[in-house]
Structure 1
Amino acid sequence: MNITLRADATPSAPALLLRPWGEPDIGPLVEAFRDPALRRGARGPMESAEDVRAWLELQERGWITGERLAFAVLEGHPGPGEGWLAGSVVIKRGVSGQGPAEAGYWTAAHARGRGVAPRALEAVTRWTFEIFETFAAEGLESVNLLHQVDNPASCRGAEKARYEFRQVLPAQPLAFPGPGHLHVRQAGSPA
């Protein structure tokens, strides 16, 4: 998969490169998931190279089926076309492709507070609307973003990426142990 997206630099943060996950990300993912705040929101362990390889296989399968389009978010340029792992953004679609897609993201501890999440989320959301309008019989009308109520940073990131707050959702044990927020981004929402 040779898909790469970019998000421009800001006065306080470097440009971002977004690309599908791969083998070079094993070490940086293990390191990123040493952060207790990141582990709290994780759906499974990411403590070893074996854990990460299993997760990478799920990401690759998601690209093949079109159900889970996950991007590594990199910043800076230590090597050709690469950067330091700053986070992740994913767009999830159901098997039928009907209804809204769902966005998710996280930011590595060292990259928080510099607008990484909203810039990456904006780039992937814009790409998602373009790609589904181009290749699907019917364009994608909206993307949902869910996060726990006790995660105000995710709320700010969603709003900066023009995801409008819609409602508080009740807890859904296992997936969402506490109440959550639903944010929605409509296709064609103004820049």
Structure 2
Amino acid sequence: MNKIAARLEVPATPSAPALVLRPWGPGDAAELVTLYRDETLRRWASPAVDDEAGAARWVRDQQRGRRAGDRFGFAVVEAQVEGAGQRLVGHVVLKNVTPGAAAAEVGYWTAAHARGRGIAPRALRTVTDWAFTTFADDGLTHVKLLHQVDNTASCHVARKCGYELTALLPAAPPAFPREGHVHVRTRPPGIRERIAS
């Protein structure tokens, strides 16, 4: 699999359409500004995107991470609307990927109009499985997920996706103003074979 050009597909469920996880592109900047008007998203996601210039920088940062091979951000879109504006429903990222390192980190957010529909857990599971498969030969054995202790929605998603709460982090203002949770998911045996089939 080409690590840089990865496009991931998440099958539909009885209650939700299929998702496509694809690299961010310049055409996403305007919609990204709209999504970041949501106060809940601004509270938990950083850095904040305030205008199209900021959104363009954010997208370039995602693209730069892919080229460097240490950060893989995915725009999450619903498959049924792809090609018809590709309405964004979220973001999921695998970051701090280093050859030979046992751990990497994930992060995610869901657009306000798409919350409560299982998008974050489906995208997170897909990227986690992809990470374990793609980077197993580089030594990746576990993935960490960090969130502020009062972000109960993120905690729920982490646990739903098999990320166990393993530690509490002290507050580190201004970027992390409150205590945090560290969740970890360990690569299960045989995951490479399950995904390949």
Fold agreement, TM-score > 0.5: yes
Question: Is the deviation greater in 142-151 or in 7-16?
Answer: 7-16
Q: Which amino acid letter does the alignment assign opposite residue 64 of structure 1? A: R
Determine whether 1:75 maps to 2:78.
Answer: yes
Name 2:58's counterpart in structure 1. 55
Q: Which amino acid letter does the alignment assign opposite residue 48 of structure 1? A: D
Offset at 1:131? 0.7
Q: Which amino acid letter does the alignment assign opposite residue 147 of structure 1? A: H
CA deviation map 1:66-113 (0-9, x unaligned):
121100011142343973201100111255652410100000001111
Determine whether 1:100 maps to 2:103.
Answer: yes
Determine whether 1:109 maps to 2:108.
Answer: no
CA contact (8 A) 1:17 1:82 kept: no
Structure 1 residues 80 and 95, CA gap change in structure 2 (3 angstroms) = same
CA RMSD, aligned part only?
Answer: 2.0
Choose from 22, 45, 48 the match for 1:45. Answer: 48
Determine whether 1:124 maps to 2:127.
Answer: yes
CA distance in 1, matches of 2:125, 2:155: 14
Offset at 1:190? 8.6
**Runs ≥4 in structure 1, deviation > 4 angstroms?**
94-97
* Partner SS for 1:77: helix
CA distance in 2, matches of 1:81, 1:185: 35
Name 1:28's counterpart in structure 2. 31
Q: Which amino acid letter does the alignment assign opposite residue 84 of structure 1? A: R
CA contact (8 A) 1:66 1:93 kept: no
CA contact (8 A) 1:74 1:82 kept: no
Query: TM-score, normalized by length of structure 2?
Result: 0.88
CA deviation map 1:116-169 (0-9, x unaligned):
0010000001001111124x2xx2010000001111110111111111111222
Offset at 1:47? 1.9
Determine whether 1:184 maps to 2:184.
Answer: yes
Query: TM-score, normalized by length of structure 1?
Result: 0.90
Q: Percent identity between the aligned chains?
A: 49
Name 2:6's counterpart in structure 1. 3
Structure 1 residues 87 and 79, CA gap change in structure 2 (3 angstroms) = closer
* Structure 2 stretches lacking a partner, 5+ long: 192-197
